[in-house]
Amino acid sequence: MDGELQTTSLARPEVALTLRSFAMRVVSELARTTGVGQGSFSPDLADKLIGYARSGDQGTLSELYAELQQRRVTADEVIDRYLPHAVNVIGQQWHDEEIDILHASMACARMQNMLREMGRVWASDRAGRTYGARILLTLPAGEQHTLGVMLAAHHLRRRGVSVKVMLLPDVSKLRAMIEHHRFHAVFLSVSNLSSLQSCALMVGELRAVTHGRVPVVIGGGLVSNEIADIDPRRIKEITGADVVTNNIEHALHSCGIQQISVAAE
């Protein structure tokens, strides 16, 4: 079932949380502040999150929540700091051949389900608090990093921005979406150097459909990858994007969208 983990005959509800109940507790019970990331980062807490992602064990999930509660780690910090860290560690473990692609994919799927469940609770908790800005968030052909896109969408929605996510749309679907909906910006997420050409084609299509009136922002793993032999200026030159950044506040300001200070209180 979506967002649920199977319970064993030995697991009691008060001992082992389901993923859905974990998400509800993190978002609804843990204190949230507008000052994201002010607490110290805890490596052992991050290890518990990675341990759950690797195993899917409900007991580990329960231990993780207990630690979050004890240390007063905010829901913001879980999403902004611990989940991205866990994704990077899993990716590095796969790159170093410590885990195979199957186990890496399962770990990322568990974290994606965690983010999805937390997003559902957050949306319910903050129903009606949107402020008019609409963004299309998408991936060019050749990309598969859906978890990163979901993280970006979650960050934007917490800032009061309405986000439409399209994963790997073909040209006709992309054109139809742009023609029938009014967006204030289009964000593209790119992680692979080999995807830049398809990204440039997508930017060109967006320019043609919108007559250049809708700004295009490129972010993603390639922008922040220090070992990639390319810098943001080169990415901008190749793709024709208006802005190349992983800083959401900078991206929103550059597009004239000011809804950047409405994170959960």
What is the per-residue pLDDT across 245-264, written as a single tens digit (0 to 9) for each?
Answer: 988 889 999 998 865 444 43
Q: Is 161 exposed, middle or buried (0-12, 13-18, 19+ CB in 10 A)?
A: buried
10, part of any domain: no
Q: How far apart are CA 219 and CA 150, in angstroms?
A: 13
Q: What is the pLDDT of residue 38?
A: 56
Q: How far apart are CA 94 and CA 110, in angstroms?
A: 16
Domain that residue 67 falls in: 19-125
Number of domains within the chain: 2
Say yes or no to pLDDT of 48 above 90.
yes
**104, 125, 146 — which closes off a domain?**
125
Question: Residue 185 belongs to what H/E stretch?
Answer: strand 185-189
Q: How far apart are CA 229 and CA 237, in angstroms?
A: 14
**125, 146, 176 — which closes off a domain?**
125
User: Phi first, then psi: what are they for 166, rounded to 5°?
Assistant: -125, 120
CATH number, domain of 207, equals 3.40.50.280
Question: Residue 77 belongs to what H/E stretch?
Answer: helix 75-77
Do 101 and 173 fall into the same domain? Answer: no
Q: What is the pLDDT of residue 33?
A: 53
Say yes or no to pLDDT of 53 above 90.
yes
Q: What is the pLDDT of residue 34?
A: 45
Do 110 and 74 fall into the same domain? Answer: yes
Question: In 3D, which of 260, 54, 25, 33 has the Cα closest to residue 161?
Answer: 260
Do 101 and 162 fall into the same domain? Answer: no
Do 113 and 142 fall into the same domain? Answer: no
Q: What is the mean pLDDT of residues 83-107?
A: 88
Q: What is the pLDDT of residue 32?
A: 58
Q: How far apart are CA 190 and CA 210, in angstroms?
A: 21
Do 204 and 153 fall into the same domain? Answer: yes
Say yes or no to pLDDT of 204 above 80.
yes
Do 77 and 161 fall into the same domain? Answer: no
Q: What is the pLDDT of residue 28?
A: 76
Amino acid at 118: M
263, part of any domain: no
Rounded alpha-carbon distances, angstroms, from residue 195 to 149, 165, 169, 215, 247: 15, 18, 14, 20, 21
168, part of any domain: yes
